[in-house]
């Protein structure tokens, strides 16, 4: 029996999202059923959440307060930090709160809000990473024209386009979810309302929506990835032409942090969604998704600050002023 048929068979008392009938809630199964493991998960995710918020807020504070960081690269980095704060804030607090209350429920409205915010922030991360790759491309391949090509107006346009594209992606997923009827206590094998897992629980046929969802994901993920790949192919070709080994190392070190984040974000994200299309082990997908929903946003500030002299200098100035 297919999973879609299995979902329909359990829709004994459907939740109609249009007229509000039924108990309007979903059940988030989380990462484990063991109470001892849940306490460990509570402490671990609370720690990661606090580290992520603190680290990204420090990045935003450093970029905004240090005049030598008022450059396109750090402008996009601060936007990425804001998006990462949103990405963890729309999923982790609800999971921590549910574990604290020994509850697994989330309201229908709360689930729709999670779907919208999660897709917005994830798409925003993706497009901003592409904009950062373009910034590095111009900085390395056209250094003399860099101030003219990547000027403040272009940066603002790229940020606005990223916001609008992410908003469209968010609303598309929202409309796909809100148009369906669900079971009154539909169980989601995840720690948040992941759109593909929510769609699996609809009482109607969702094959068209699933195709549309994966098409949107391929389009809005494929275009940024293609832009990033093109940028780094050009960057590598340009760096190989530098005669000095020190010059090549210095040129590549300016984009090493960004490349690390790209590999972590896209590697884990694509692994989860491509795996969910062919695998029936939904709980394993939930565990794997912790990487790009929680671990990557937590690592961003460390990756960008540990080997970045400008960020370290800004942190020292902030600490000096505070003391």
More confident residue, 323 or 264: 264
User: What's the CA angle centered on 92, arms 58 and 211, to 5 degrees?
Assistant: 110
Query: Would you state the structure tokens that stand for residue 323, as one six-digit string?
Result: 């003391």
Residue 211 has pLDDT above 60, yes or no: yes
CATH number for 65? 1.20.1070.10
What values do phi and psi take at 240, rounded to 5? Answer: -65, -20
**What is the pLDDT, as a whole number, of residue 281?**
56
Residue 184 has pLDDT above 70, yes or no: no
Task: For residue 64, count other CB atoms closer than 10 A to its CB.
Answer: 13
Q: Which residues contact 281 (CB under 8 A, 6 or more apart)?
A: none
Q: How confident is the model at residue 118 (pLDDT cuts 50, 70, 90)?
A: very high
Q: How confident is the model at residue 249 (pLDDT cuts 50, 70, 90)?
A: confident
The pTM of this model reads 0.85
* CA dist., res. 226 & res. 221, Å (int): 9
What values do phi and psi take at 284, rounded to 5? Answer: -65, -40
**Total number of domains constituting the chain:** 1
In terms of average pLDDT, the best of 3-7, 76-80, 293-297, 308-312 is 76-80
More confident residue, 9 or 208: 208
Residue 39 has pLDDT above 60, yes or no: yes
In terms of average pLDDT, the best of 35-39, 79-83, 297-301 is 79-83
**What is the pLDDT, as a whole number, of residue 271?**
66
**What is the pLDDT, as a whole number, of residue 87?**
92
Residue 81 has pLDDT above 90, yes or no: yes
Residue 311 has pLDDT above 50, yes or no: yes
Is the distance from CB of 183 to CB of 14 less than 8 angstroms? Answer: yes
Share of the chain above pLDDT 90, in %: 29
**What is the pLDDT, as a whole number, of residue 131?**
93
Q: 245: domain range?
A: 3-322
* CA dist., res. 35 & res. 241, Å (int): 58
The secondary structure of residue 188, as a DSSP letter, is E
* CA dist., res. 105 & res. 28, Å (int): 6
């Amino acid at each position: 029996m297919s999973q879609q048929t299995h979902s329909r068979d359990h829709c004994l008392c459907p939740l109609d999202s249009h007229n509000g009938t039924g108990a309007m809630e979903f059940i988030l199964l989380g990462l484990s059923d063991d109470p001892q493991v849940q306490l460990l998960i509570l402490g671990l995710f609370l720690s990661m959440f606090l580290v992520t918020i603190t680290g990204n807020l420090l990045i935003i504070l450093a970029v905004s307060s240090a005049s030598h960081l008022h450059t396109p690269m750090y402008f996009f980095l601060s936007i990425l930090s804001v998006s990462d704060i949103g990405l963890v804030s729309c999923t982790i607090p609800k999971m921590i709160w549910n574990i604290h209350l020994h509850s697994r429920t989330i309201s229908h409205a709360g689930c729709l809000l999670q779907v919208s915010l999660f897709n917005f922030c994830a798409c925003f991360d993706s497009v901003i990473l592409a904009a950062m790759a373009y910034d590095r491309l111009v900085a390395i391949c056209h250094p003399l024209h860099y101030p003219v090509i990547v000027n403040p107006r272009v940066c603002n346009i790229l940020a606005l386009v990223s916001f609008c594209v992410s908003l469209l992606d968010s609303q598309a997923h929202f409309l796909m979810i809100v148009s369906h009827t669900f079971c009154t206590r539909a169980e989601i094998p995840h720690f948040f309302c992941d759109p593909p897992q929510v769609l699996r629980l609809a009482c109607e046929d969702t094959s068209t929506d699933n195709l549309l969802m994966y098409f949107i994901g391929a389009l809005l993920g494929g275009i940024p990835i293609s832009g990033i790949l093109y940028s780094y192919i050009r960057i590598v070709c340009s760096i190989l032409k530098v005669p000095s080994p020190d010059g090549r190392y210095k040129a590549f070190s300016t984009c090493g942090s960004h490349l690390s984040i790209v590999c972590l974000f896209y590697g884990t994200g694509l692994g989860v969604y491509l795996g969910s299309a062919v695998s029936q082990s939904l709980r394993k997908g939930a565990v794997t998704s912790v990487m790009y929903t929680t671990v990557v946003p937590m690592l961003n500030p460390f990756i960008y600050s540990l080997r970045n002299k400008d960020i370290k200098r800004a942190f020292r100035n902030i600490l000096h002023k505070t003391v």
